[in-house]
Structure 1
């Protein structure tokens, strides 16, 4: 079988367009399907054609992520459909990029592919803050490694090297320091922790091994590059001589949320965009996922519905999770948006509509106020005799919506497209910040995250939240906040993440 599609494994470098290779820029401009990681900068997603399908497969250390086998399946499926597929990875595809499994999957079915290098953050992050990895006197060699599994590293050998560049080390900072000190490294050894290098959110903390944990206490250290060695002290001298597009200093004081620490509690795969909005406004953002999204117990019902899409009059999508999982499953069945010809689509919320548009489709109906209740009240046609497909969360979904549609004469076919769970663990940074009462605002974008947050916090010793402002995205979430906390301090006027950001900014400006 001849396969006309092709897969490009592309390194995104630091994420800033200025540091993208010419070849990567060219390929992004021709992409028909973009499958990207969580650490890829939002601005790169604007470089693909408007018609390009964008799929976030969000692999983040320590958090729920798309299984590698499912990513492999997506690459193969879209390639076999004849698409030009770009697998966009942060940094370089072959430096801790897990590319081997994807290439093996492509080779197994003879899918053409090309690997496009990117600039690894291990090399670029120290450069943009003025730290040279080598120096004729201070650093004749350096090692690059990931601290993802610190127990497998030869710390005795690493401690003898002049300069270390460490990726995926934010959560292991304590272990890194302990091991290096244990094997003879001086507690006065300089260390730099560089977060979001080369972007507008860039921050850098410089100290020594003895004090770096105190300096970074209560701060979310993901994603960071850690540089250890005497060369760190050259940054002050060299920064005066090189141009850095984004200042390595903390956020500018004229930003409305400067100095505010905000904890966000969305599902693990949906934190980055909201966090970016808040960080751009100057906030120190901590992430505490209160929802994990994964596959349903069985795909059987959804697969059966996909096989008979022509039988349905309407497809109802009430969340980006519903959109993403429905279309991902559609692709695994060898189909794309064309399979929905003749089926009208209703969505709840602008974000859900945007997710649908990324699959090349426009919704036929979006209710006002961006809430599901308005979907029923303002539905554009009589429902008597209509057959409606509703891909939804497996448990705990919108029972009222189904009941009302059925009462109006529609045949509603509910199928599990994904499942949501309460996580078992809390980020140590988030827990410490809550217990030390350094959090200014906690945000909630759904009633389920409110319940799960309270359950998680209680299971980890609890915290005094009297001084924290509770921020809600809308009335249903606010109702849950009232039940759990007895109050809501900030509520979005427009029930979107942008509206919630604006409400928090307004609160900060009128304090």
Structure 2
């Protein structure tokens, strides 16, 4: 049987998700196995499916890491199992990435592979610092070198090159400076060290060959890029203006279900936020399809189909297809949806809703319903347990005959991940967002589980963290469980919640 597995050796770029290539992003979303290096930004890991196997192989100087031969074996083994494997390397795979050894192992095992370029810190770090590597008057050429074995390099030749870009060299900075000075480089040659390029914590240290070692003594510099040459002096003129995005430097915790958080993450990142994800919901099929199947078999008897969530849309149409039907089965049935996200999900099914209430909440649907409800037969696919009952009650009170059917269920994850729990404990989070009452309840349950159900410890843990709600019902649940809510969206959408956070942090600066 033909092996359909393939290995993609992907450059992760310089750090932030914004600088990942489109091809890299696509492959991460499709990966079945992800094998990644320690320097890869954690935000990139949020792109992979929850079902993707993630393997951290380290590969950072001076720290424990998986032996290269074992990494090669992992790539081959998973590819031969027919998996789509992404080998994620910081920067670009072909720049100090040891990719040759991995490709040789794949070729020997007759495994298909593809190399996907990434933006290397060699080019990006100087750019972020405002340092051009070439300049008509100051630099006709530049050389890129690894500084972790300075004794192997020809310093006489390197000293004659206009601009030097050094990776992995901060531990040997004093030795590098000594060798360049000994080979004739002038003592007041400008030097820049760019640490954590592209990230909010980026820092730039400048000096000369004479004083750069003293200027950075005792400072943790790695990961960093060293630039030596006259072009360093241009940084003050050419460096980009600091980001004016309001959420720059803020860390926002998103509690939506894993498969629903990408849009919200993108909205927040556009305003400069660092986003951490803690899925407080797990979306899954209902305990039984029987009642939904019966409703689908009798679709012609209904006047209206009401959909109040993107999950309801996805699971209803997935089941429709499973039963051999498609959108044509809804001929003669009008569709009402609650919320822009629900409407957009329906539109991806090539259907336009007949009615969207103006306030994006279920309560508004009854108040603004376009037809007399008396005698209307309504099909309502919904979450199996835990949804609000007020909509069905009000529709029924108005004389409608409502058939509720479970289309999916949402549960609470077993525990908080170690990364998120550490961020909460170390006060690294500025705001927590809630897009439904259920996410509030599940978050509360998970945190209390860690704290031994102590309300005092809960209050202390969330102190100085902004609690942000998507709408009135979610805010009410925040008040019940946390005794406060700091931000409520005026428009009850993810866009509205983003705007509310931007306004909040604008006012407290």
Q: Does 1:353 align with 2:353?
A: no
Task: Give yes or no for contact 1:252–1:282 (8 Å, CA) kept in 2.
Answer: no
- 1:474 alignment counterpart: 471
- 1:264 alignment counterpart: 254
- Counterpart selection for 2:481 from 464, 479, 484: 484
Distance 1:38 1:371, change over 3 A: farther
Give the TM-score, by structure 2 length.
Answer: 0.58
Q: Does 1:465 align with 2:462?
A: yes
Q: Distance in 1 between matches of 2:448 and 2:103?
A: 42
Distance 1:262 1:252, change over 3 A: farther
Q: Distance in 2 between matches of 1:505 and 1:142?
A: 45
Q: Distance in 2 between matches of 1:390 and 1:144?
A: 56
Q: Does 1:422 align with 2:386?
A: no
Q: Does 1:280 align with 2:270?
A: yes
- 2:386 alignment counterpart: 396
Q: Distance in 2 between matches of 1:393 and 1:469?
A: 29
Q: Does 1:122 align with 2:88?
A: yes
Greater mean deviation of Cα atoms: 455-464 or 389-398: 455-464
| Per-residue deviation, residues 380-432 of structure 1 (Å, max 9, x unmatched) | 10122211100000011121111111122211111100001111111211111
- 2:101 alignment counterpart: 141
Task: Give yes or no for contact 2:170–2:224 (8 Å, CA) kept in 1.
Answer: no
Q: Distance in 2 between matches of 1:95 and 1:458?
A: 41
- 1:82 alignment counterpart: none
Q: Distance in 1 between matches of 2:447 and 2:497?
A: 23
- Counterpart selection for 1:496 from 488, 493, 498: 493
Distance 1:390 1:288, change over 3 A: same
Task: Give yes or no for contact 2:308–2:337 (8 Å, CA) kept in 1.
Answer: yes
- Counterpart selection for 2:305 from 300, 315, 319: 315
Q: Distance in 1 between matches of 2:296 and 2:169?
A: 56
Q: Distance in 1 between matches of 2:355 and 2:92?
A: 49
Count of equivalent residues: 340
Q: Does 1:385 align with 2:387?
A: no
Q: Distance in 2 between matches of 1:373 and 1:332?
A: 32
Q: Distance in 1 between matches of 2:367 and 2:257?
A: 29
Task: Give yes or no for contact 2:168–2:224 (8 Å, CA) kept in 1.
Answer: no
Task: Give yes or no for contact 1:446–1:473 (8 Å, CA) kept in 2.
Answer: yes
Q: Distance in 2 between matches of 1:291 and 1:330?
A: 24
Instruction: Indicate the SS of the match to 1:460.
Output: helix
Give the TM-score, by structure 1 length.
Answer: 0.58
Shift of 1:280: 2.1
- 1:332 alignment counterpart: 322
Distance 1:509 1:333, change over 3 A: same
Distance 1:373 1:58, change over 3 A: farther
Distance 1:18 1:37, change over 3 A: closer
Q: Which residues in structure 2 correspond to 1:12-31 (within 5 Å)?
A: none
Shift of 1:133: 2.1
Distance 1:327 1:144, change over 3 A: farther
Distance 1:37 1:448, change over 3 A: farther
Larger radius of gyration between Structure 1 and Structure 2 = 2
Task: Give yes or no for contact 1:474–1:495 (8 Å, CA) kept in 2.
Answer: yes
Greater mean deviation of Cα atoms: 404-413 or 498-507: 404-413
Instruction: Indicate the SS of the match to 2:88.
Output: helix
- 2:121 alignment counterpart: none
Q: Distance in 1 between matches of 2:81 and 2:376?
A: 46
Distance 1:316 1:140, change over 3 A: closer
Shift of 1:59: 2.3
Shift of 1:327: 0.8
- 2:38 alignment counterpart: none
Q: Distance in 2 between matches of 1:452 and 1:446?
A: 10
Shift of 1:98: 11
| Per-residue deviation, residues 314-346 of structure 1 (Å, max 9, x unmatched) | 000000010111111111112221111111000
Shift of 1:311: 1.4
Task: Give yes or no for contact 1:347–1:366 (8 Å, CA) kept in 2.
Answer: yes
Task: Give yes or no for contact 1:12–1:40 (8 Å, CA) kept in 2.
Answer: no
Distance 1:144 1:126, change over 3 A: farther
Instruction: Indicate the SS of the match to 2:359.
Output: helix
Shift of 1:131: 3.3
- Counterpart selection for 1:341 from 323, 331, 347: 331
- Counterpart selection for 2:96 from 124, 132, 137: 132
| Per-residue deviation, residues 217-251 of structure 1 (Å, max 9, x unmatched) | xx9xxxxxxxxxxxx9896579x99xxxxxxx9x9
- 1:439 alignment counterpart: 429
Shift of 1:305: 1.1
Q: Which residues in structure 2 correspond to 1:7-156 (within 5 Å)?
A: 39=29, 59-61=49-51, 100=82, 120=86, 122=88, 125-127=90-92, 131-134=95-98, 141-142=101-102
Task: Give yes or no for contact 2:246–2:272 (8 Å, CA) kept in 1.
Answer: yes
Unpaired segments of 5 or more residues in structure 2?
1-5, 32-46, 54-74, 106-115, 117-147, 150-166, 172-195, 201-221, 232-238, 452-456
- 1:454 alignment counterpart: 444
Distance 1:430 1:410, change over 3 A: same
RMSD, aligned CA: 4.4
Shift of 1:96: 6.1
